[in-house]
Amino acid sequence: MAADAARLAELEERLGHVFTDKSLLEQALTHVSHSGAGTKAMSYQRLEFLGDRVLGLCVADLLYARHPEAPEGQLSRALADLVRKETCAAVAESIGVGACLRMGKGERKSGLARKPAVLGDACEALLGAVYLDAGLPTVDTVVRRHWLERLPDMTTAGVDPKTALQEWAHTRGLPEPRYAEVDRTGPDHAPVFRVAALVEGLEPCEGQGRSKRIAERAAAEAMLAREGVAGGMP
């Protein structure tokens, strides 16, 4: 039990919030398969619902404040990218959520605690728990701590690189670009992905990042740059 308490304390430190109500933290880390969950209401599912909305509000506010000249469409694309499960899973991996999840022995043995969908859900649940424990200003601080560095450079990129590459390929009658994972390095809580962008008839281009989504965008940017597509626009 002492080891569990130490692990949770380390998670709180990486998250950036020490819970007053520890039961909220425990619930946010409890998968529905855990024997102590009892009912779905005791798992992280309800907190996940709340955290998803809180995250959307905090990220929208952050984007709105930091990019006063960006049009609504660009803000919406950035928001969708920043709150998607893959991004939440990358944040969860960076703070070691997987090792703290409470779930059934069979589910843990199967590797469920490392699945992006589960990590993304748990990340949202943690944000919902922070909101209930300390309010919106505190959860906003937590979101800024982990999402600020993930904001796109909207001063130079008018279109998401993957969207730009897809539109560029379409105008040339080429099939939709595909992406393939080439390599994964680093520990489970802080992986680095290397991904190749594949367009029929062209040499692949590679990119890397802390999530597959970021690596795919980097690979798309590399291909656009190589093909001389100025500013990421088709």
Query: Residues 101-154: pLDDT tens digits?
Result: 998 888 888 888 889 999 999 999 999 999 999 999 999 999 999 999 888 776
Would you state the pLDDT for residue 227?
A: 87
Chain position carrying tokens 């088709």: 234
In angstroms and rounded to an integer, the radius of gyration of the C-alpha atoms of the chain is 19
| Encoded tokens for 20 | 């007053």
The bridge status of strand 178-185 relative to strand 192-198 is antiparallel
In whole angstroms, give the CA distance from residue 45 to residue 42.
Answer: 8
Would you state the pLDDT for residue 234?
A: 38
The torsion angles phi and psi of 121, rounded to 5 degrees, stand at -65, -45
| Encoded tokens for 207 | 């990119």
Per DSSP, what are the bridge partners of residue 102?
Answer: 30
Ranges of the chain with pLDDT below 50 = 1-2, 156-157, 231-234
CB 234, CB 167: distance < 8 Å:
yes
Catalytic residue numbers, as ranges:
52, 124
Would you state the pLDDT for residue 210?
A: 86
In whole angstroms, give the CA distance from residue 229 to residue 224.
Answer: 5
Give the other-Cβ count within 10 Å of 149's Cβ: 8
For the whole model, what pTM was predicted?
Answer: 0.68
Chain position carrying tokens 């998607």: 84
